[in-house]
Amino acid sequence: MSKTSPKAAAGALKSHWMIYGANGYSAQLAIEKAVAQGQSPILAGRNQAAIEALATQHGLEMRVFDLTDVAQVAAHLADVKLVSNCAGPFSATAEPMMRACIEAGTHYTDITGEISVFDTAQALDAQAKEAGVVLCPGVGFDVIPTDCMAGYLHDAMPDATHLTLAFAGNMSVSPGTAKTSVEALGEGMKIRVGGKMVSVGRGYKMRQIDYGNGPVLSSVIPWGDLSTAYWQTKIPNIRVYTSHSGGRMGGYLFPVVKYLLKLKFLQNFAKKKIEQSVTGPSQAERDSSDTLVWGEVENASGKTLSATLRVPNGYTVTRDGILMTAKYLTGYNGDGGCLTPAQMLGPELAEQLPGAGKITANA
């Protein structure tokens, strides 16, 4: 990613960094730290009152626009080097913003964990390369720690045929995360088998995983690494687990919940309730809830290698991931294309997060 294309060189003339969806929970965490560091991102979004209030509070430039017309969005990005998209659910916002960034010659990141969004970015890889634009979705907790774990393990075992990733933590969620989870529950659990995405039940292949403090019962989830880890490593069989909650009754009821949440009006009802009642974790909650990450690879001969990593609370990781990738891309003038965070900045990115530990191979 060091070669500079003519279109990328033209992009070097741009100077501004924009945070879109600036009134979101994670975006506000990033804005506060960016301002404290002396940075001046442009604050943008669809809610004029909320964006104006934030811009006034921090003394920053603002722009208000929606994403219905890609050409009009691209016009708002004419002087913008990088957009950090924090407006979820990203199933609605990512593709139009990515297409506008390609048209405008503007780099793109977001904090999604949605498999469909990663797949969309990967489908736009050729267009992004032609435009000299970097598309790097998932620069938050979804998926920096697990993406870096996947890269580390693949480097250690290049002939791996199976990859398992997992994480465990205890934290409350933001409104955006909760609304995205409603959509994910409607789609059900997934794994990757032989390179193909496969739907499975909630209790599929539950297992005990030692994240560093003893075995914990864990279950599969439809995490973004099913797309990004495959894109990065080409390992054909991938599962992602998290520490399990809900017990057997939750497993029995999940098919009913999945069916109900496929109904759009029930999704919209759930999202409205979330907006009214979910606020996101306090700083004290974030400071007291680290996350443990575990990964394992296996090759065709049955040899395995596992490793662990401790990172801060997911929202703290997301805040710092937004800032670290923004710093890199606002100074970047190389080739474009779709990249995962580990592809862009190396598996060591997770270890460079403030407060993170080192990826440690298990004996």
Looking at the chain, the domain(s) classified CATH 3.30.360.10 span 144-313+355-361
Looking at the chain, the domain(s) classified CATH 3.40.50.720 span 6-141+317-345
Note the pLDDT tens digit of each residue in 244-297: 754 333 333 334 334 333 545 444 444 454 454 545 667 777 666 799 999 999
Whole-number average pLDDT of the chain:
86
Note the pLDDT tens digit of each residue in 289-331: 799 999 999 999 999 999 999 999 999 999 999 999 999 999 9
What kind of fold does domain 6-141+317-345 have according to CATH? Answer: Rossmann fold (3.40.50)
Mean pLDDT in residue range 96-106? 98
Indicate the CATH number for domain 144-313+355-361.
3.30.360.10
Band (pLDDT 50/70/90 cuts) for residue 179 is very low
Provide, for the chain, the percentages of residues in helix, strand and coil under a 3-state DSSP scheme, each rounded to the nearest 5: 45, 25, 30
Pairing between strand 304-311 and 196-200?
Answer: unpaired
CA distances from 115 to 189, 221, 301, 351 (A): 11, 11, 30, 24
pTM: 0.86
Measure the CA–CA gap between 263 and 265, rounded to whole angstroms: 6
Q: How would DSSP label each residue in 177-188?
A: HHHHHHHHHHH-
Note the pLDDT tens digit of each residue in 215-248: 999 999 899 999 999 999 999 999 999 887 543 3
Helix (H), strand (E) at residue 197: strand 196-200
Predicted local confidence at residue 187, as pLDDT: 61
Residues 87, 167, 165, 355, CA torsion sign: positive
Mean pLDDT in residue range 91-99? 97
